Structure 1
Amino acid sequence: MDSMRDRFAATTTRLLDEDPSLAVVLAEISADRFEQAGRDHPDRVINVGIREQLLVGVGAGLALAGLRPVVHTFASFLIERPFEQVKLDFGHQDVGGVLVSAAASYDWPAGGFTHMAPGDVALLDTLDGWTVHVPGHPDEAETLLRHAVAAGDDRVYVRLSEQANTSPVKVDGEHFRTVKEGRSGVVVAVGPMLDNVLRATEGLDVTVLYATTVRPFDAEALRAAVGPGPAEVVIVEPYLAGTSTGEADTALLDVPHRVLGLGVGRAELRRYGQIEEHLAAHGLDAVSLRGRISGFLSLPEGGA
């Protein structure tokens, strides 16, 4: 299976051929994947070098000129380092574009903490008007990227990951999908967390919702899943723990409820390790999730 970043490059290259209003802005990262596209469209594939503030500023400038920019680098260099430019050049100037990240929370452990950005979605939550897609499979990444590119002047963040679920789910860029139904609680699995959540909840009497578009948050789907309440909800996200608990609280404002947010912890892990070791350290592997979900929902770990 190709990676989400491979699929991003292949899909965007095709879109450059199809849509003369599309432009790609890079900061060295993934530049090798766009070599042919750069030769074919030298005026619309721009590599600014290792200058991330300029990366975002150029993207916004292209938007002001009437193009639809796709701006790409690692999440820490796309959202965190040039955050002022994201806030002002896109938000304050009220122009649209597609920010596509790679290697977010801990997808390249050897890069160290400088290349990790588990707080990216939470940081974007401080700004108005951003749609956030978190695909869990390369097929979903392609669907959501095409959706983002075609989204007029909207501001869209597509968060790619080296982690991927075994099989894709049909996604539409808006709604959560019900992948399992039960009566003893609702677990929302975001993007690449789905496989581990399904393994963790095997034999448990819970509903599992799958979310690949987390902003706007699909309040209607969550309300439908919990019913009249009282409700118990667990949200498992591949980024900072608790990022979406406020969204769930708002969605269930008139329903008695409890919400547990599981995700990446705030404590820095100072050893490189492997992705699987980071998952386990943050309690996001299937075994840890089963214990944490069962404990919160007061279900026996052996099944209910």
Structure 2
Amino acid sequence: MDTMRDRFTAVASRLLDEDPRLAVVLAVISGERFADAARDHPDRVIDVGIREQLLVSVAGGLALTGLRPIVHTFAGFLVERPFEQIKLDLGHQDTGAVLVSSGASYDIAAGGRTHQAPGDVALLDTLDGWTVHVPGHPDEAEALLRHAAADDDHRVYVRLSEQCNRTAHLVSPGRFQVLREGRAGVVVAVGPLLDAALAAVADMDVTVLYASTVRPFDAAGLRAAVEGTDAADVVLVEPYLAGASAPFAAEALVDLPHRVLALGTARQELRRYGTWQEHVAAHGLDAPALRARIGAFLTSSLHPAGAVGSGVR
């Protein structure tokens, strides 16, 4: 099976053939993958070199001319390093673009801290008007990319990962999918962590929602799922900074007594490079760890029935 990054570069190249509004802006990363597209569309495949701030500024300029820029590099170089340009050249100027990252939180673990970006979604949450897609399979990445490219002027972030689920699910941007129903609580599994979450709760009586789009957060979908359970216990399983979606879940359930356990990557920096698989395990996001953490939360008597609390960890 191809990776999400493989699928992105192939599909984006085809989209350049199909839609003259589109442009691809690069900062060296994946440049060789767009060599044929650059030959065919030299005015719409732009490599700015290792200048990530310029990468986003050029995208803002292209958007002002009526083009729809697709901007790509590793997550840390796409969201964190040029954050001021995202805030000003896209947000303040109210221009649209499609930011497509690769590397996720720890895919490039051997690259060290500069190549790790577990805080990207939380950082974008400080800005208004962003749609955030977190596909869990290359087929989903293609569908979400095509949806974002066809949009007129919205700001969209597509977060690609080496980790992926065994099978794809039909994506409905902005809506969570109900994969199974139960009475003991609700688990919201995001993108590539779905398989691990499903394995973790295989014998638990819980509803499982799948999120390939996390912003906007499907408040109505979560609320409907919670209202179908006996206990308003919600577990968020996200492949980036723990607690990123907790405020959105709390807002969705603001008038209902509820508990939230937010699972994701910790703020603590792991200083052994290792592999992304080792980082997933170290952050307690593999199936055995999720099973233990979710099981303990759902059977916990620390919060009496009817209490409102947050189990962000």
Normalised-by-shorter TM-score class:
over 0.9
Contact 1:25/1:48 (<8 A) preserved: yes
Structure 2 distance, partners of 1:12, 1:276, is: 28
The equivalent residue for 2:67 is 67
Corresponding residue number in structure 1 for 2:50: 50
SS at match of 1:66: coil
Displaced runs of 4+ in structure 1, greater than 3 A?
A: none
Asked whether 1:246 is paired with 2:247, we answer yes
The 1-side partners of 2:173 and 2:24 are apart by 21
Q: How does 1:112-127 map to 2 (within 5 A)?
A: 112-127=112-127
The total of aligned residue pairs comes to 299
The aligned counterpart of 2:20 is 20
1:41 aligns with 2:30: no
Q: Tell me the secondary structure at the aligned position of residue 95 of structure 2.
A: coil
User: 2:129 is matched with which residue?
Assistant: 129
Paired residue type of 1:258:
R
Write the distance in 1 (CA, Å) between the matches of 2:84 and 2:78. 11
Letter in 1 for 2:266: G
Conserved? CA contact 1:188–1:209, under 8 Å: yes
Report the Cα distance in structure 2 between the residues aligned to 1:192 and 1:258, rounded to whole angstroms.
24
Alignment pair present for 1:272 and 2:284: no
Percent identity (aligned): 70
Counterpart in 2 of 1:96? Answer: 96
Q: Does structure 1 retain, via aligned residues, the 8 Å contact 2:183–2:231? A: no
Question: Could you say which residue in structure 1 is the equivalent of 2:7?
Answer: 7
Mapping of 1:126-205 within 5 angstroms?
A: 126-205=126-205
The aligned residue for residue 261 of structure 2 is: 260
Give, in angstroms, the shift of residue 230 of structure 1: 4.6
Aligned match of 2:309: none
Deviations 1:86-128 (A, max 9, x none): 0000000000000000002001111111000100000000000
Structure 2 partner of 1:302: none
CA distance in 2, matches of 1:83, 1:149: 22
Corresponding residue number in structure 1 for 2:79: 79
**How far apart, in 2, do the equivalents of 1:94 and 1:216 lie?**
18
Paired with 1:173 and 1:41, the residues of 2 have a C-alpha distance of 29
1:137 positional shift:
0.1
Amino acid at match of 2:28: E
Contact 2:235 2:260 in 1 (8 A): yes
**Deviations 1:188-223 (Å, cap 9, x if unpaired)?**
000000000001001110111000110000011101
CA drift at 1:227: 0.4
Please give the per-residue CA displacement for 1:63-89, whole angstroms capped at 9, x wherever unaligned: 001100000000100000000000000
Structure 2 unaligned spans of 5+: 301-313
* Residue aligning to 2:209: 209
Contact in 2 for aligned 1:230/1:255 (Cα 8 Å): no
Report the AA paired with residue 253 of structure 2.
Answer: L
**Cα distance between partner residues in 1 of 2:15 and 2:293:** 43
Q: Is the 8 A contact 2:185 2:231 kept in 1?
A: no
Per-residue deviation, 1:291: 0.4
Deviation, 1:151, is 1.4
CA contact (8 A) 1:143 1:172 kept: no
For the Cα contact (< 8 Å) 1:104–1:115, is it kept in 2? no
- Structure 1 residue 7: Cα displacement: 0.4
Is the CA contact (8 Å cut-off) linking 2:108 and 2:276 kept in structure 1? yes
Amino acid paired to 1:48: V
**Structure 2 length-normalised TM:** 0.94
In the TM superposition, residue 181 of structure 1 has moved relative to its aligned partner by 1.0
| Superposition deviation, residue 173 in structure 1 | 1.4
What's the Cα RMSD here?
Answer: 0.9
Equivalent residues of 1:239, 1:263 under 8 A apart = yes
